[in-house]
Every structure is written in structure tokens, then in C-alpha cells.
Amino acid sequence: MRDLSQIVKAYDVRGVVPDQWDADTARALGAAFARVTGATAIVVGRDMRPSSPGLSRAFAEGAASQGADVTEIGLASTDELYYASGSLDLPGAMFTASHNPAQYNGIKMCRAGASPVGQDTGLAEIRALVEEGVPAFDGKQGVIKQQDVLPGYAAYLRSLVDLTAIRPLKVVVDAGNGMGGHTVPAVLEGLPLDVVPMYFELDGTFPNHEANPLDPKNLVDLQAKVRETGADLGLAFDGDADRCFVVDEKGDPVSPSAITALVAVRELEKHPGATVIHNLITSSAVPEIVREHGGTPVCTRVGHSFIKQEMAVTDAVFGGEHSAHYYFRDFWRADTGMLAAMHVLAALGGQDGTLSALVADYDRYVQSGEINSEVADQAAAAEKVRAAYAGQPGIVVDDMDGMTIGGDDWWFNLRPSNTEPLLRLNVEAKDATTMAALRDAVLALIRG
């Protein structure tokens, strides 16, 4: 019996290749995916990792063995796969390990219309079916074909945000040798933008830096290039280009919470009174700003499957996460870093000021950013923190996702990673002194 416990996470498949999974596993997952979704046709995309061609083809063969026709879109960003799933109305599978190191690979799966597949929406069934053994299919085998959806993806995004009339902007883009190098030229070509490319060569060994802009060290090259070239802003995409990080004209990072607020304001202008989703780690400024602009903020757990489900329930127009995932109702409620980047370009290019001035009102509190701690016993470390704070006057504890503890003008969240043996800490406070003291006190408890 095949054991998938190491690679099936809360909302995707992810693990080291070939130690934890291989083409045979991918083939079985493809067969199980076809059976669980009941699909007669699916779409499959892949990133630039060395293992992606073999794994994605094996998955396609597995699905075809169950009678499903497979459309391979080849090299794609994750949001390009979501576009394909939405526009073709087919279940989809994207082969990527996002920002993880080169030896990892994974699968992000969705039903038709980019509807998420997570533990409660099919992933547990897929795992069980693979572990039990997928039954043979006695009908006609499916056909595997190829289709290029990149032009359609670019045209669709450009139909959602019009950049043709903005003032000329110089923008440095760091693709991190990931899929942004594939999608950015197609989407931004011919617009009033002077694009300065960095690391656009597709290379799944990530020779320049990890494709994880959430880690400040991976933004250093972009920040330097923005300052050196006098650019108006910089954009950094992660490995599968579904996340986008922004730095201003000074090279300073703009928090994903501020970007969430900026995009929310733009969407609320088009859809007055709409709902905006934010996860519990985004800044308190986000729900404040959404309310100030007549919208309804709704807080949810971290993770794309949870956000998408909540968007479907509330018919939210937009959703944002602290990790720079941005979700749009107009994009099948899926996350697309490219569309968020286009909103930033439109907002900046639609007025004469700098980006730092534009986002100043959206950046009201001081955040630590996500701090990872590797600990032997995650639960014990978290309980030590809970014991130190819970029960004190004015302290509120929320267990919606990990543990969130808050006071009058500060809060922190501590939660275990779904993909790595880590505890993730996020802290926010009214000023830098309060934030730093709280951060250091909690880290001392975790690591002590």
C-alpha cells in the first residue's frame, strides 16, 4: 500500500523528488484525480523545475488511463493554469512547488472553474484512493493533446485592468528564474512601461536566489536595481508566479497588507458595498480601510482553499493574504499575482505621485513579517506561549488558525507550517518599539 502522508498537505501535494514521490505516484494521483472529480477532460500545467515535465506527463497518463482527455498547456504560471481551468471549464492540476527549493515538487489541484481542491474538497479522497489502489478503468482511454493558453491569459488580464492610458512608468521585475519570466513579457508587452527584467531565464535550480520573495534576502537584488535605475517601482514574483511582491521607488518593500488595501479600494470603487476577504495575519489596517470605503471585511484562515471557499460563500469581490496571494472574483476567485501587480501599476500610473506616497495611508501599523522557527515539538512550544499570555486582563485568544493573541494595540499569530517543520510567527503593533519587544518576548518563549 502506497503511503502519501509525507506529501499530501492541507491544500496541495508537495514533497522531495524522488525521495518522497516520483512519476509512479504522479500517475496514480492523476488516475485518482480523474475518478474523484468525475472529469471526462482535465487541463495540466507545469513550472520550470527539472522534475516537472516527467511528473506532469505521468499525471496526464494516469488521468487518461481513467478515460479523461487531457489538455497539456506546458510551461505555465499557476494563475495561468487557473485561467485555463476557468476559461475551458475543466478541472486542473498545476505541477509546482512554488517557492520551495529545487528538489521539491508538488501539485495544486482544482475543479472546473478553478474551484479549489483541499482536504475537505477532494484531496483526502484522492489520497485514500491512491493509498488503496486506483481501480482499473475498462472504458476508452483518454487522449492527451497540447494547447497554448498564454495569449488568452494575457488578453484576459488586460481586459480586467486597462493600462493603456497610464503615464509611462519604469518597473523592475525580478522573476527569480521562475514562471514570471514566461508570463510577464506576454502580459506587459506594448504597454507604456519600461520593463527592466531580472532573472527571466527559466531555471528550476534557482541559480540567483530562492524564488521566495517573502524572505527579505531574496528582495535585495531587486531593491538595488530599483535604486540604481531610478525606477518607479519593483515587482518580485515567486517560483510559480502566483504571488507578487512590490517595492517602492526607494527600494523599500510595500507590505502585502498595504497592497491588499490598495486593490480593495480600487475594487470597491467598481463594486460599492462589496465584501473583501483577508486572512487573520493581514494588518488590522485592511478591515479598517475596507469599512472606510463602504465595504464589508471578512476574516478567514490562511491558505488558498480556505480563502476561495469563503469568497464563494460571501460572493466577495477580492481577497488578500499577508503572503502576497491576491484573489479576484473576476478571475474565478483564484489567486493571481499578475493581476494584483497590474492594479498597482494602474493606481500608480493614474496619478503623478510616488508609490511610497500612494500607499502611506494603507500602512498604518508596524509588522514583523513572518518569522520561522524550527522547533522539535511545535505543539509544546505553542502551549508555552499560550500559558504566558492567556488569562491576562484584556488579552483575547483566538484559535481559528493556529493561535492569535491580541491586546489593545497589538496582536500576534503563531501557527505551524503546513509544508515544513516550522512555527510561523507574525506580530503587529502600533509602533516599532512595541512590536519589537513583543516579537522578541514570543521568540524567546518559542526558542528557549
Does 284 qualify as catalytic in the annotation? no
Burial class (CB in 10 A: 0-12, 13-18, 19+), 89: middle
The set of cell numbers assigned to 8 is 499530501
Q: What is the dihedral of CA 262, 265, 266, 267, to 10 degrees?
A: 120
Beta bridge partners of 412: 405, 427
Length of the chain: 448
* Residue 353: closest CA among 229, 249, 262: 249
Q: Helix 150-160 vs helix 180-188: angle between axes, to the nearest 10 degrees? A: 60
Cα atoms found within 13 Å of the Cα of residue 247, Cβ hemisphere only: 29
Residue labelled with grid coordinates 499525471: 59
Query: In angstroms, rounded to a whole number, what is the distance separating the alpha carbons of residues 11 and 29?
Result: 15
The DSSP bridge partners found for residue 403 are 414
Q: Which uninterrupted H or E stretch holds 326?
A: strand 326-328
Q: Which of 65, 77, 85, 98 is catalytic?
A: 98
The maximal CA–CA distance of the chain, rounded, in angstroms, is 67
* CA–CA distance, 77 with 75 (Å, rounded to integer): 7
- Kindly state the DSSP code that residue 361 receives in the 8-state scheme: G
> Which residue is it, cell 484573489?
327
CA–CA separation, 291 vs 268, rounded Å?
Answer: 10
Report DSSP state, residue 331.
G
The residues annotated with a catalytic role in the active site are: 98
